[in-house]
Amino acid sequence: MIKVSLPDGSVKEFEKNSTPMDVAKSISEGLARNVISASYNGTIVETTTTLTTDGSLILYTWNDKEGKKAFWHSTSHVMAQVLEEKYPGIKLTLGPSIDNGFYYDVDFGDTKITEAEFKAIEDRVLEIAREKHEFKMRPVSKSEALEIYKNNEYKTELISNLEDGTITFCDHSNFFDLCRGGHIPNTGLIKAMKIMSVAGAYWRGDEKNKQLTRVYGISFPKQKDLTDYLELLEEAKRRDHRKLGKELELFAFSQRVGQGLPLWLPKGAALRDRLEQFLKKAQKKAGYEQVVTPHIGQKELYVTSGHYAKYGADSFQPIHTPAEGEEFLLKPMNCPHHCEIYNNRPWSYKDLPKRYAEFGTVYRYEQSGELHGLTRVRGFTQDDAHIFCTPEQLDAEFKNVIDLVLYVFGSLGFENFTAQISLRDQENRDKYIGSDDNWEKAENAIINAARDKGLNTVVEYGEAAFYGPKLDFMVKDALGRQWQLGTIQVDYNLPERFELTYKGSDNEMHRPVMIHRAPFGSMERFIAILLEHTAGNFPLWLMPEQAIILSLSEKYENYAKKVLSLLENHEIRGLIDNRNETIGKKIRDAEVKKIPFMIIVGEEEEKNGTISVRRHGQEGKGNITCTIEEFASIVSEEINKTLKPFIV
- Residues with catalytic annotation? 335, 364, 382, 384, 386, 470, 516
Provide the angle, in degrees to the nearest 10, between the axes of the packed helices 523-534 and 266-285.
Answer: 110
458, containing H or E segment: strand 457-461
Nearer to Zn ion, 179 or 192 (CB): 179
Instruction: Give the shortest CB-281-to-Zn ion separation in angstroms.
Output: 22
Instruction: Give the shortest CB-183-to-Zn ion separation in angstroms.
Output: 6
Q: Does 179 bind Zn ion (CB under 5 A)?
A: yes
Nearer to Zn ion, 336 or 391 (CB): 336
77, containing H or E segment: helix 65-86
Instruction: Give the shortest CB-310-to-Zn ion separation in angstroms.
Output: 13
Q: State the number of binding residues for Zn ion (CB under 5 A).
A: 4
- The Cβ-side half-sphere exposure at 277, using a 13 Å CA radius, reads 9
Nearer to Zn ion, 179 or 587 (CB): 179
DSSP states of 164-178: TTS-EEEEETTEEEE
Q: Which stretch binds Zn ion (CB under 5 A): 171-179, 301-309, 533-541, 561-569?
A: 171-179
Contact 275, 523 (CB under 8 A): yes
Contact 37, 66 (CB under 8 A): yes
Instruction: Give the shortest CB-71-to-Zn ion separation in angstroms.
Output: 12
Instruction: Give the shortest CB-384-to-Zn ion separation in angstroms.
Output: 6
Contact 304, 329 (CB under 8 A): no
Among the listed residues 170, 215, 374, 567, the single contact to Zn ion using CB under 5 A: 170
Q: Which stretch binds Zn ion (CB under 5 A): 100-108, 279-287, 335-343, 362-370?
A: 335-343
Nearer to Zn ion, 356 or 541 (CB): 356
Instruction: Give the shortest CB-338-to-Zn ion separation in angstroms.
Output: 7
Angstrom distance (rounded) from CA 169 to CA 166: 10
Distance, first Cα to last Cα, the chain: 57
Q: Which stretch binds Zn ion (CB under 5 A): 61-69, 157-165, 333-341, 529-537?
A: 333-341
506 to 545, contacts with Zn ion by CB under 5 A? 516
Contact 510, 504 (CB under 8 A): yes
Nearer to Zn ion, 75 or 551 (CB): 75
Angstrom distance (rounded) from CA 593 to CA 338: 40
Dihedral angle over CA of 441, 445, 447, 452, nearest 10: 150
* Residue 294: Cβ within 10 Å count: 9
Instruction: Give the shortest CB-206-to-Zn ion separation in angstroms.
Output: 23
Nearer to Zn ion, 168 or 537 (CB): 168
Where do the H-state alpha helices sit in 171-325? 223-238, 241-247, 266-285, 299-305, 307-311
Dihedral angle over CA of 204, 209, 212, 216, nearest 10: 30
Q: Which stretch binds Zn ion (CB under 5 A): 200-208, 329-337, 414-422, 527-535?
A: 329-337
* Residue 478: Cβ within 10 Å count: 14
Nearer to Zn ion, 39 or 612 (CB): 39
Q: Does 32 bind Zn ion (CB under 5 A)?
A: no
Among the listed residues 275, 330, 335, 598, the single contact to Zn ion using CB under 5 A: 335
Q: Does 330 bind Zn ion (CB under 5 A)?
A: no
258 to 297, contacts with Zn ion by CB under 5 A? none
583 to 642, contacts with Zn ion by CB under 5 A? none
Angstrom distance (rounded) from CA 563 to CA 258: 43
Nearer to Zn ion, 355 or 614 (CB): 355
Q: Which stretch binds Zn ion (CB under 5 A): 175-183, 212-220, 307-315, 368-376?
A: 175-183
Residue type at position 32: A
Angstrom distance (rounded) from CA 94 to CA 68: 18
Q: Where are any strands of DSSP class E within 99-191?
A: 101-107, 136-139, 168-172, 175-178
Instruction: Give the shortest CB-97-to-Zn ion separation in angstroms.
Output: 9
Nearest to 183 by CA among 90, 93, 119, 102: 102
Nearer to Zn ion, 168 or 612 (CB): 168
List contacts with Zn ion (CB under 5 A).
170, 179, 335, 516
